[in-house]
Amino acid sequence: MSTDWLPGRRNDIITMAKAWITVLKAKGSQWYVTNAEVTELEDLTEEAEMRIDTSQASQGDRVLAARAREALDRLIAHMRFIHSRRFFSPPMQPADWLSLLLNPPDTIRTDHVIVPEVVEFELRLRNIREIVVNFWVKGADNRAKPAGYEGAVVVWEVLDAPPSEPGDLKEHTMASRTPHIIEFTEEQRGKTVYIALRWQNERGITGAWSEIQSAVIP
Q: Express each pLDDT in 33-56 by its tens digit.
A: 899 999 999 999 999 999 999 998
The pLDDT of residue 109? 47
Cis amide leading into 179 (omega within 30): yes
How far, in Å, are 23, 39, 102, 160, 212 from residue 18 at the CA level?
9, 12, 13, 37, 35
**Residue 108: band (very low, low, confident or very high) from pLDDT cuts 50, 70, 90:** very low
Q: Which amino acid is at 181?
A: I
Q: What contacts 15, CB < 8 A, 6 or more positions away?
A: 7, 101
Report percent pLDDT > 90 for the chain.
55
What digits encode the pLDDT tens for the residues 57-100? 988 888 999 999 999 999 999 999 898 878 865 667 888 888 89
- CA separation for the pair 100, 3 (Å, rounded): 17
Our measurement of the distance from residue 191's CA atom to the centroid of its chain's CA atoms, rounded to an integer in Å, reads 23
Report pLDDT for 53.
Answer: 93
> In whole numbers, what is the pLDDT of the chain averaged over residues?
88
Per-residue pLDDT of 96-107, as tens digits, reads 888 898 887 655
Look at residue 72 in the predicted model and tell me its pLDDT: 94
Global confidence as pTM: 0.52
Domains identified in the chain and CATH numbers: 10-99 (no CATH), 119-216 (2.60.40.10)
